[in-house]
Structure 1
């Protein structure tokens, strides 16, 4: 059932992205600096990484459009049929983890210092980002929905 227009949230705004960013960074930080995340990432295979990224997308979509938020994806501004709010959420969820990992020099600390080099460092970093994004998306979606 659609809510009356007056009760619906406004279209996606830059302020919504800013709120997502605050929430995403807030929950991403602890996981970027946790050695266990990097150990898990080293042990993950490509299928597990892709499935983990899918879990992030599913959590984000459910939080934005299936929780009682009053949003309908088909009523939002979209790019190639994908709501801009959802695209922003995914960018923030994965991006906040990556930015913090690089700022904190986590790949150097947890991978290179352990003897890993080259392409393996970037692949493992990408896998660690998917693990951290599972938590970051919760913060980002919550901040978007609450404010």
Structure 2
């Protein structure tokens, strides 16, 4: 009898490939930065929650082979899910920093305002990054 697939470090590597693949275009698109500049803190938070919902659904609702109750947990959350969320937000944030995108798109803003807009950009980009990360994790 074969049990459910167990989480391995290779799963995170797959998530990273998928997450970065779909995160890139959103970090370097001026429209995303303009959109995020117009968002409130509530919109940013709601977008972050949406990322978690999409990620959980993609991992455990769309894939019958996975059961969150049988996976290793940290603070009551499945390790695979935490990895997915970290990759989704982390890939967008890392690309934004490496490409110096906040300085390029948010000229004239103070550091604190740049940080706030960048966090909202990360939330927007993570919507797409989580789809790529979850797909890569499920397919490979």
For the aligned pair, the TM-score class normalised by the smaller chain equals: over 0.9
Partners of 1:69 and 1:145 within 8 A in 2:
no
1:18 equivalent in structure 2: 13
User: Which structure 2 residue ranges, 5 or more long, are not aligned?
Assistant: none
What is the deviation of 1:56? Answer: 0.3
1:45 equivalent in structure 2: 40
Q: Give the secondary-structure state (helix, strand or coil) at the position aligned to 1:6.
A: coil
* Deviating 4+ runs (over 4 angstroms): none
The total of aligned residue pairs comes to: 140
Partners of 1:28 and 1:135 within 8 A in 2:
yes
- 2:109 is equivalent to residue 116 of structure 1: yes
Residues of 2 paired with 1:84 and 1:136: CA distance? Answer: 18
2:74 equivalent in structure 1: 79
Q: Give the secondary-structure state (helix, strand or coil) at the position aligned to 2:93.
A: helix
Residues of 2 paired with 1:118 and 1:82: CA distance? Answer: 34
2:93 equivalent in structure 1: 98
Residues of 2 paired with 1:69 and 1:101: CA distance? Answer: 35
User: TM-score with structure 2 length normalisation?
Assistant: 0.97
Partners of 1:64 and 1:145 within 8 A in 2:
yes
Residues of 1 paired with 2:38 and 2:103: CA distance? Answer: 17
User: TM-score with structure 1 length normalisation?
Assistant: 0.93
Residues of 1 paired with 2:138 and 2:63: CA distance? Answer: 10
User: Which structure 1 residue ranges, 5 or more long, are not aligned?
Assistant: none
Across the aligned residues of Structure 1 and Structure 2, the Cα RMSD in angstroms comes to 0.9
What is the deviation of 1:8? Answer: 2.6
Partners of 1:35 and 1:110 within 8 A in 2:
yes
